[in-house]
Structure 1
Amino acid sequence: MKQTSIDSSGRLALPFYAAKELGGRSLELASHSPGHLLVIDPENKVQMAGRLGDVALVDLMSFFNMFRKTGVLSLELKGGRKEVYFKLGEIVFATSTFAEEHLCEILYDQGKLDRDALHKARQLAGSQVQIGKCLVEKKIITAKDLWLASRYQVEVSIYNLFLANEGSFYYEEREVEEDQAVRLSTSTQNLIMEGLRRIDERALFMRQIRSLETIPMPTEKEAANLSEQEQSMLEVIGRGRLNVKSVLRRSGVAELDGLRLLHQLVGKGLVRIEDAPSFAIGGDIGEMLKVFNGVLVLLYRRIAENNPRFNDELRNFLRAVPSPFSYVFRDVALLDDGSVDGGRILANLAGLEERDKKKLLAEALSELVYMECHAARRDLGSAASAELLQRVQEIPRRIKNILERKS
């Protein structure tokens, strides 16, 4: 969280993103002490704000439920934002900017969309509610598919919230539109209890599985008395060296259910867990990644200092980038320093000729750099971004030299 201070004249310098949202509004000093300052817009109905960690999420949800609150709890978390909608104390809806919780990703994980349909759905304009309705109208999915996926999306978004231990929140009174409400399969109190149980259960499974990037491998032991889901997952594992995340996706099960199945297969001695291979990417591809990642780290660090929501923008950009770049960035996550995962990109490029790999990689990463340059001008201003953009101008020449080398 960006720090600021009050100068000797009583002026408070706000970060860019806060000044942009609050600029031009009449603000009122609501409360202060030696340890805090609360300034509000009198016309806004924000009733509560704070930091996660100081206040437990479970306590917040229980409070809203106990006092039958109607409004929206907004959370700024590491890597994204979420909103949880309450109506008379019950959770009825939730939104998320996390890519894995997008409605299209949920439908893909449930086997309702294939990769091509997923890519087309991502490019549909509008909210997730509008995208869902469009998919039904085009008969890509059924109305029942949409209802089940929407309900699951809200529930998994809530359950994943219990893993967050840092961030900020605010709550405001607001009526919930009827078309936003989703009929969940359980009450808010049961959601809270289930969320806490899932944290404990996931921790148990991950002690054995270690990471979603580890590689499950079949053993020589003969399988017997397996459930249909266990047998299906074992068949997926036997088809090749896939990481845990890919196994869960191809098995068509939710993450926690999939981890439970994998934990059972390991316990029966049918599967062993191997560490993900670590390797340095060499050659021209490795050099290109090094060049691009160098400037991506620099841009990300400077922009994120002024705009903590920049990570959301990047995730949305990678999710919505058009073909053929979408294949380069498929399942690619930005690392904490703003660089891209070269190993994942290399896996996505598998099967292409070396020359085509380099050309497509250069074009895709150039798109990402261009997007970040635009953000730098917007968030840092022309003067502050000038030095950064000058560094970026060196990239085309260096990449061109690599592309023109003879293999």
Structure 2
Amino acid sequence: MDRPHVTADGDVIVPRGCAGKLGAATGPLQSRELGDDVLLSAHPQPGEREKPILYGDLRLFHVAELLALISTMQRDGVLHILVPDAKKSIFFAGGEVVFATSTVEDDRLGEILWRQGRITLEQLSAVQDLVTPKKRLGALLVERRLISPRDLYRGIQGQVTEILYSTFHFTRGEFLFVEDATAPKNAVRLEQSTRDLIAEGIRRVEVMNRLEEIFPDRELVPVPRPLAVEVRLGETERYVRHLVDGKRTVARILQESRLGELDTLRALAHLRRVQLFDLRSSREAPPAAGEDPLKCWTVLLRHIHQTLAAEEPEYVARLESYLGSPPATHRPLFANVGFDSEGRLDSATLLRNARTVAPDRALEIAREALRSFTDYAHFQALDVLDDAAGGRLSRRLAELRQRAGNEEG
């Protein structure tokens, strides 16, 4: 037997060589839970451990503080970060970061190389099934000349830094630093010092905090807008824009992009800044193709507009005047909204404005604004029309409301 074995009774059997290293012959082992792992120790007395360790709670110490401490003391060893459903390990040599590992799928080398643009998804899929404990992914990619040894080295450097930066967002969990001078086989020399990595990690956290203010609700649905003018986009923005289909939520786009949370949110923020999509609540059912979700009100307003144009055309200006200076609460909603020559209101712009003001209540506040405008328009029409024309208008509006099932009224 060359590795530990757990019996049906819950006992752990270890090879004699491992038992000697654990010191099992000198006394009983002590155990302590570390997240999903268990720390076994044969040194219950303080100060008797062969290799020093540092253990604690991330609620008391931020990852940046731990990195700064290890760097300042120029220690060799491994810092394990243990959080629910994940474990990330950072390796040090003389206080400098030289390697990192993670149990998270998005942190795997293949995903990192793809995000860096060094391989395609097709190339990754072609070799993924050929990976074995003796033939690692990087070696396969180089062997098949899909990447160069230099690209592989750069990819591992990127993998190490991305894993490291991701730990800066952990605020709950546990950490364990074990001093050990044994360097990992895949150790690399990073271009940044640990001090520079700490500064960049903190900066990324600040950027993420600002992005989360733009997308506070991950269940909102980005709805693409037609491209009015040509907008220059980078490769990342073009890729993320392809995922914006009016069906995927922000959370689903983050999951499917495989670009990492920070880069995906940054791309979404840029797309929103250049007005390539609106945000809609996922609880709000999308309208069918070609259907106007505000049709109940736009039909009423069009009939009022056409009646005034036919009976008292000079008073159509009263409706235009309202749109130019609506009540303060509705002013942002009616920005750049107007009637066409046939009395159709630009409801698409109104709805886009509503999604900017309140993404999770866009349809509700748009209907409320149109309800107020319709009441105003009806009142103004009755004020200038004679009794017969006014009566016909009121009856027709009542019929239209009834036909629509008075859904929004």
Bin for the TM-score computed over the shorter chain: 0.5 to 0.7
Q: What is the 5 A alignment of 1:1-40?
A: 26-30=42-46
CA distance in 2, matches of 1:249, 1:141: 26
Shift of 1:164: 0.7
Q: What is the 5 A alignment of 1:233-382?
A: 233=239, 236-237=242-243, 241-244=247-250, 253-276=259-282
CA distance in 1, matches of 2:250, 2:68: 34
CA distance in 2, matches of 1:18, 1:251: 29
Q: Answer whether contact 1:236 1:250 (CA < 8 A) is retained.
A: no
CA distance in 1, matches of 2:223, 2:269: 13
Q: Answer whether contact 1:46 1:173 (CA < 8 A) is retained.
A: yes
Mark the CA change 1:215 to 1:146 in structure 2 (over 3 Å): closer, same or farther: farther
Aligned residue number for residue 121 of structure 1: 128
Structure 1 runs (4+) greater than 3 angstroms displaced: 11-23, 108-111, 115-120, 210-215, 227-231, 237-255, 274-279
Which region of structure 1 is more displaced relative to structure 2, 183-192 or 12-21? Answer: 12-21
Mark the CA change 1:142 to 1:116 in structure 2 (over 3 Å): closer, same or farther: closer
Question: Is 1:142 the counterpart of 2:158 in the alignment?
Answer: no
Shift of 1:54: 1.8
Q: Answer whether contact 2:87 2:102 (CA < 8 A) is retained.
A: yes
* Equivalenced residues, count: 257
Q: Larger C-alpha radius of gyration, 1 or 2?
A: 2
Mark the CA change 1:104 to 1:27 in structure 2 (over 3 Å): closer, same or farther: same
Q: What is the 5 A alignment of 1:119-268?
A: 120-121=127-128, 124-126=131-133, 130-177=136-183, 179-210=185-216, 214-220=220-226, 222-229=228-235, 232-233=238-239, 236-237=242-243, 241-244=247-250, 253-268=259-274
Deviations 1:21-80 (A, max 9, x none): 666x6323117xxxxxxxx6x33x133211111222221111111121111111211221
CA distance in 1, matches of 2:54, 2:36: 20
Mark the CA change 1:186 to 1:26 in structure 2 (over 3 Å): closer, same or farther: closer
Mark the CA change 1:53 to 1:15 in structure 2 (over 3 Å): closer, same or farther: closer
Q: Which structure 2 residue ranges, 5 or more long, are not aligned?
A: 1-27, 286-409
CA distance in 2, matches of 1:60, 1:187: 15
Deviations 1:176-224 (A, max 9, x none): 4374222223111111111111111112112223356643221135144
Larger RCO of the pair (alpha carbons < 8 Å, separation 6+): 1
Mark the CA change 1:19 to 1:139 in structure 2 (over 3 Å): closer, same or farther: closer
Shift of 1:96: 0.8
Mark the CA change 1:69 to 1:217 in structure 2 (over 3 Å): closer, same or farther: same
CA distance in 2, matches of 1:257, 1:88: 31
Structure 1 counterpart of 2:132, one-letter code: A
Shift of 1:163: 0.8
CA distance in 2, matches of 1:72, 1:101: 18
- RMSD of the alignment, in Å? 3.7
SS in 2 for 1:94: strand
Which region of structure 1 is more displaced relative to structure 2, 224-233 or 139-148? Answer: 224-233
Mark the CA change 1:110 to 1:273 in structure 2 (over 3 Å): closer, same or farther: farther
CA distance in 1, matches of 2:189, 2:196: 14
Question: Is 1:98 the counterpart of 2:81 in the alignment?
Answer: no
Which region of structure 1 is more displaced relative to structure 2, 218-227 or 182-191? Answer: 218-227
Mark the CA change 1:122 to 1:64 in structure 2 (over 3 Å): closer, same or farther: farther
Aligned residue number for residue 308 of structure 1: none
Deviations 1:271-326 (A, max 9, x none): 123344699xxxxxxxxxxxxxxxxxxxxxxxxxxxxxxxxxxxxxxxxxxxxxxx
TM-score, normalised on structure 2?
A: 0.53
Identity of aligned residues (%): 26
Mark the CA change 1:239 to 1:51 in structure 2 (over 3 Å): closer, same or farther: closer
Mark the CA change 1:213 to 1:131 in structure 2 (over 3 Å): closer, same or farther: farther
Aligned residue number for residue 52 of structure 1: 58
Structure 2 counterpart of 1:201, one-letter code: V
CA distance in 2, matches of 1:231, 1:58: 30
Mark the CA change 1:46 to 1:118 in structure 2 (over 3 Å): closer, same or farther: farther
SS in 2 for 1:180: coil
Mark the CA change 1:171 to 1:273 in structure 2 (over 3 Å): closer, same or farther: same
Q: Which structure 1 residue ranges, 5 or more long, are not aligned?
A: 1-10, 32-39, 280-407
Mark the CA change 1:65 to 1:222 in structure 2 (over 3 Å): closer, same or farther: same
Deviations 1:78-114 (A, max 9, x none): 2211111111111111111111111122234345142
Q: Answer whether contact 1:65 1:88 (CA < 8 A) is retained.
A: yes
Structure 1 counterpart of 2:97, one-letter code: I
Mark the CA change 1:216 to 1:133 in structure 2 (over 3 Å): closer, same or farther: same
Deviations 1:346-375 (A, max 9, x none): xxxxxxxxxxxxxxxxxxxxxxxxxxxxxx
Shift of 1:116: 7.3
Shift of 1:253: 4.9
Mark the CA change 1:227 to 1:101 in structure 2 (over 3 Å): closer, same or farther: same
